[in-house]
Amino acid sequence: MTALPGVTAAERRSRLVQRHLLTAATRAASAREVAHALTGLHATDPATVFLAAAARMRAPTVAAVDAALYDLPAGPGTEPDLARVRCMRRTMFVVPAPLAPAVWHATAKSNDPHRADATAKLRETLGWDERRYADVERALLDALAARGEATAAELAADVPDLREQFVVNPGKSYASRQRASSPVLGVLAAEGRVRRSRPAGSWTSAQFRWAPARPLPPLPAAEARAELARRYLAAFGPVTVDDLKWWTGWTLTATRAALAAVAAQAVEIDEGTGHVLPDDVDPLPAAAPEVALLPGLDPTAMGWRHRDWYLDPAHTPELFDRNGNIGPTVWWGGRVIGAWSQTSDGHLRHRLLADPGREARVAVEEAVGRLAAFLDGTRVTPCYRTPLERRLSGG
């Protein structure tokens, strides 16, 4: 039996820093290039998109990322360079607009429950039947078409039924009230019929305007999954079957079929059998270690199910919340070595969980200065708070 080619943990870290644009030599000119390199950027927290792109751009500015997300190129029927898509694991990502159809069709089945969940919730809490839901949805789309773009509050002013409120998580300490507009818009967004436009507030705001979306071109699901698997392996390989299954939210059968469709090459890694694209077995030249300050939910930190090769398991309780969401992290040479946060006055603080040496400590201070310049006084609080981030922030 022929032995599989081997990829060491050190080689994986070298791939990580270079392909994820975490070195000075590999940084990108635009947010679109960053999203393309990583397949997509996590977008549950609006600030993550800006901070993840900024960490990988040569000359990052808020205006440049904002333009890629929301400005329409010249010409009829155009869309921004980047598209927000509810896709992998039913979460929000920002992906290059040309990739959006493949990403959406590859994960559309996981989005199917959105409509059933929303109609059931509104039936149970507000007594809406399917006919009323359909009427409200139609009225919302008509109002949005008339306005061109609108906030949820503006749409609720046009369609009074959207103002009705219900309790989320009743009986819990974190119970809250929500307007009917939220699940209705969520379904339409998941189905690709509306899109989030520029927020009503700053770049850290989650109060988005909404706009009609152009229908996505049809694409067979198996073809879409193969394309997404190919992109993921190019950016994250080698990966295990478990990594790909977890990252996409696919079934095991769909995961294996997608790997077969791209003729993935099996390789030996510390976790067992990994997979790379067939022309991607040879190691990259080693990269000198550099520092990166990455935000909560960064796509690199959240890119693999198995993380021991870049994250000491002993640090997991400090860096992740109880649901598996990672907070802001400090990286050195492809490893997570600490965390960072902001105090209430916007001051950046960090803590290293291991001593990486004087060169790394100096580089961390320089990276903190670059991040402070990008933030320019803006206060960013991650939507998912982790133990160490909370302590560093003082709250």
Q: What domains can be seen in the chain, in order of their start residue?
A: 111-212 (1.10.10.10)
Residue 190 is predicted with a pLDDT of 85
Residue 257 is predicted with a pLDDT of 98
Q: Which of 207, 209, 273 is nearest to 70 (CA)?
A: 209
Helix, strand, coil % over all residues of the chain, rounded to 5: 45, 20, 40
Residue 201 is predicted with a pLDDT of 86
Residue with tokens 């950016």: 235
pLDDT per position in the chain (395 positions), as tens?
A: 568 999 999 999 999 999 999 999 999 999 999 999 999 999 999 999 999 999 999 999 999 999 999 997 755 556 789 999 889 988 999 999 999 999 999 998 766 678 888 999 999 999 999 999 999 999 999 999 999 999 999 999 999 999 999 998 888 877 789 999 999 999 998 888 999 999 988 999 988 999 998 888 889 999 999 999 999 999 999 999 999 999 999 999 999 999 999 999 999 999 999 999 999 999 998 889 999 999 999 999 999 999 999 999 999 999 999 999 999 999 999 999 999 999 999 999 999 999 999 999 999 999 999 999 999 999 999 999 999 999 999 97
Residue 262 is predicted with a pLDDT of 98
CB 32, CB 96: distance < 8 Å: yes
Residue 25 CA to residue 38 CA, distance in Å, equals 16
Residue 72 is predicted with a pLDDT of 77
What's the length of the chain?
Answer: 395
b/e code 39-51 from CB counts within 10 Å (16+ = b): bbbbbbbbbbbbb
> Cβ-count burial of 324 within 10 angstroms (0-12 exposed, 13-18 middle, 19+ buried)?
exposed
CB 230, CB 200: distance < 8 Å: no
Q: Backbone phi, then psi, for 199, in 5-degree steps? A: -65, 160
Hey, is 177 helix, strand or coil? strand
Residue 328 CA to residue 83 CA, distance in Å, equals 24
Residue 270 CA to residue 283 CA, distance in Å, equals 16
Residue 104 CA to residue 90 CA, distance in Å, equals 10
Does the predicted model carry a pTM greater than 0.75?
Answer: yes
Q: Which residues contact 241 (CB under 8 A, 6 or more apart)?
A: 252, 255, 256, 259, 273, 275
Residue 111 is predicted with a pLDDT of 63
Residue 216 is predicted with a pLDDT of 85
Q: Backbone phi, then psi, for 46, in 5-degree steps? A: -55, -35
